[in-house]
Structure 1
Amino acid sequence: MSRFRASLRGSLFAFAALLSGCASLGTSRLSAAQDVELFQSHAGEPIKAFSPFGGISQWETVGDSAVAVWTKPDTAYLLGVAEGCLDLEWSPRLSLSREHDRVYAGFNHVLVRRPGEKDAKRCRIETIQPLDVQALRAAQARARPGALKLSEAG
């Protein structure tokens, strides 16, 4: 039995070492403050509204008071909401309320639905800023030099 425990302990140690190596490979993440700074530095002047065209193709939380939404691969907006309103860590999806197929600052909401919840949490959109997606991607690549590109990970 002690031989089995020693073998199991050795296997667990090797597995843990492997996981820590994989975890550090390509995951040089920015701090939350650095992430906010990166997005804010690539956000344009606030606008009143935008058209989400076919919907949201991807989204990313930016601190605890903003979310970046992509409506096309090269078109994104930074939406500012009330601090602490977003609860996206466990949300598999996000949507936006609309008025005549446009999203307005001060009127429309980011809608967050967590698993198991019937109703969506509504976060009023306070500001909308267009993002310079090309410059943002270049800055992210410079800031995260060890990170794998999505196309390289597969």
Structure 2
Amino acid sequence: MKTLLTAAALGLSLAACATTGGLSDAEKLELYRAHAGEPVRDFRYYGQLNGWTSLGDSALAVWTRPSEAWLLDLGGPCMDLSSAPTIGLTNHMGNVSAKFDSVIVYNTPTGFRVPCRIRDIRPLDVKALRISEKELREARLQQREQEAAPQD
């Protein structure tokens, strides 16, 4: 039932953003949370990220492999996260742990590298997330085509 309600709420908010052309950070975060599993204590980190996506100033998704991603909720706002070209993760013996490790934002305009503590880690269903993103792009395209079509 919770999944159904989440999907319905997500559908309504994403339908609304389809007319504006892009997703806000809050809408992206909602999309990622809809495809995240239950919190886990830690995940294996191989010393290099396959990619990452800022989801506002207090959350991000990190890919450790093309088919393995994690939603990281931070303990508070992380300065310059949304504009950072590069991030890093602290880890202990190859494990990134909630409540102990941090996201490090590099090359910030201020020059400071403030660690942002990871509060929660949730695994992402990468396949389902990609399908939802594709459906959203297609819905946006259809919406734009309908808006551009001449009215009778």
The alignment's TM-score, normalised by the length of structure 1, stands at 0.71
Give the total of aligned pairs.
122
- The correspondence for 1:57, drawn from 50, 55, 79, is 50
Q: Say what the alpha-carbon RMSD is for the aligned residues.
A: 2.1
Does residue 133 of structure 1 match 2:147? no
Partner of 2:32: 39
Distance in 2 (CA, whole Å) between partners of 1:33 and 1:144 is 17
Q: How does 1:95-134 map to 2 (within 5 A)?
A: 95-115=88-108, 118-134=111-127
Q: Unmatched 5+ residue regions in structure 1? A: 1-26, 149-154
Distance in 2 (CA, whole Å) between partners of 1:101 and 1:68 is 18
- The correspondence for 2:85, drawn from 73, 92, 103, is 92
Q: CA deviation at 1:88?
A: 2.0
Confirm or deny: 8 A CA contact 1:58 1:70 kept in the other structure: yes
The alignment's TM-score, normalised by the length of structure 2, stands at 0.72
Give % identity: 40
Distance in 1 (CA, whole Å) between partners of 2:28 and 2:71 is 12
Partner of 2:64: 71
> Residues 79-119 of structure 1: CA distance to partner in whole angstroms, max 9, x if unpaired?
01023224223311000001011100000000001346554
Q: Unmatched 5+ residue regions in structure 2? A: 1-19, 142-152
Distance in 1 (CA, whole Å) between partners of 2:30 and 2:108 is 30
Structure ID, larger Rg: 1
Confirm or deny: 8 A CA contact 2:47 2:94 kept in the other structure: no
Q: CA deviation at 1:28?
A: 3.5
SS at match of 1:43: coil
Q: CA deviation at 1:120?
A: 1.6
Confirm or deny: 8 A CA contact 2:89 2:101 kept in the other structure: yes
Confirm or deny: 8 A CA contact 1:30 1:144 kept in the other structure: no
